[in-house]
Amino acid sequence: MDLFDYDAELRPHTAHLRAAARVGAGDRVLDIGCGTGQTTREAGRAAVDGSAVGVDISELMLEQARRISDEEGPSNVGFQLADAQVNPFPANAFDLCISRFGVMFFADPVAAFSNIARALRPGGRLAWLVWQGHDRNEWASMFSDVLASAIATPGRGPFSLADPVVTESMLTTAGFTEITFTDIDEPVYYGADSAAAYDNLLRLTGFTAFLADLAPPGAERARARLREILADHQTDDGVYFDSRAWLLTARRR
Ligand SMILES: C[S@@+](CC[C@H](N)C(=O)[O-])C[C@H]1O[C@@H](n2cnc3c(N)ncnc32)[C@H](O)[C@@H]1O
């Protein structure tokens, strides 16, 4: 099996985020919904005289983030179990807030964005990646197809910041200005071939749990459908699905 993780899936997206974040040598960086911390570590490496803190609500993710960071460094990163919507971050403590698809899940986005704004110093920046709409993300249609729309449940989810007008209004209310949205039209990668992509998806997503909950004929049909869709997306370079994201930047007033 090829080495695959969320970092491999999102390589081109990460390059866009890096370019927009422009982490400075002295920056104190906050990474929201940091997962296993790749973007936190990158920020830490760029902030040679500063630091980077990743927060996430998943202790499982954070354990992995800490383990990788203990092995690879850098030494100026830390990880904290925290719900970014309500966590009492120290005020004015950060110069930059980054997130790679970790800010779409807040029950109350304005409360969360306001809380993040307070953690940033006045003039501090944010650079976030968020997904555009479900219908613009082929990978999501694949999930929906296989999971019978499980991912497209109403409420706060991966596509909750897809509408720039709504998101801009929430960020403005939360205390941000100079808000920009850049269209990111890059594919997501799932593996070197359809067999690898199948294994990767079962390992990395909710598919395994979902399939385990299904009665045998349904589970078999879902597995077969997944194999079929992945085979349709196999190219000489691997298995790719179209995706559309917003690269969102703003500044705290
Ligand atoms: C799609 S993953 C992205 C992980 C990471 N940014 C990356 O690119 O590898 C979304 C992450 O956001 C975290 N998350 C969701 N709600 C959160 C909240 N209220 N506060 C902090 N993290 C949250 C999830 O636990 C998950 O790790």
DSSP 8-state secondary structure symbol assigned to residue 89: P
d(CA 135, CA 118): 34
Instruction: Evaluate: CB of 65 within 6 angstroms of ligand 1.
Output: no
pTM of the model: 0.89
**Substitution candidate for ligand 1 out of 32, 56, 98, 248 with most atoms within 8 A of CB:** 56
Number of domains composing the chain = 1
Ligand 1 pocket, residue 130 CB under 6 Å: no
Whether 142 is in a domain gets the answer no
Q: Using the 8-state DSSP alphabet, how is residue 243 labeled?
A: -
Instruction: Let me know if residue 19 belongs to a domain.
Output: yes
CA geometry: angle at 148 spanning 147 and 154, to 5°?
A: 100
231 in any annotated domain:
no
pLDDT in tens, the chain (253 residues): 344 577 888 999 999 999 999 999 999 999 999 999 999 999 999 999 999 999 999 999 999 999 999 999 999 999 999 999 999 999 999 999 999 999 999 999 999 999 999 999 999 999 999 999 988 998 888 777 676 544 444 457 889 999 999 999 999 999 999 999 999 999 999 999 999 999 988 887 667 776 777 777 777 888 888 899 999 999 999 999 999 999 999 999 9
Residue 205 forms part of a structural domain:
no
- Structural domain range at position 53: 6-134+154-189+243-252
- Closest by CA to 4, choosing from 237, 152, 241, 200, is 200
Q: Which neighbouring-strand residues pair with 120?
A: 94
Q: Which of the listed residues 18, 39, 57, 60 should we mutate to test ligand 1's pocket, taking the one with most ligand atoms within 8 A of CB?
A: 57
User: What CATH code is carried by the domain that includes residue 64?
Assistant: 3.40.50.150
Residue 230 lies in a domain: no
User: Residue 150 carries which DSSP code?
Assistant: G
What confidence score (pLDDT) does residue 8 get? Answer: 84
Burial annotation 8-34 (CB, 10 A radius, 16+ → b, else e): bbbeebbebbbebbebbeebbbbbbbb
The verdict on residue 33 lying in a domain is: yes
Task: Tell me, yes or no, whether 120 lies in a domain.
Answer: yes
Q: Please tell me the predicted confidence (pLDDT) of residue 203.
A: 80
Say if 229 falls within a structural domain. Answer: no
H/E stretch holding 126 reads strand 120-131
- Which ligand 1 atom lies nearest to the CA of residue 38? 9
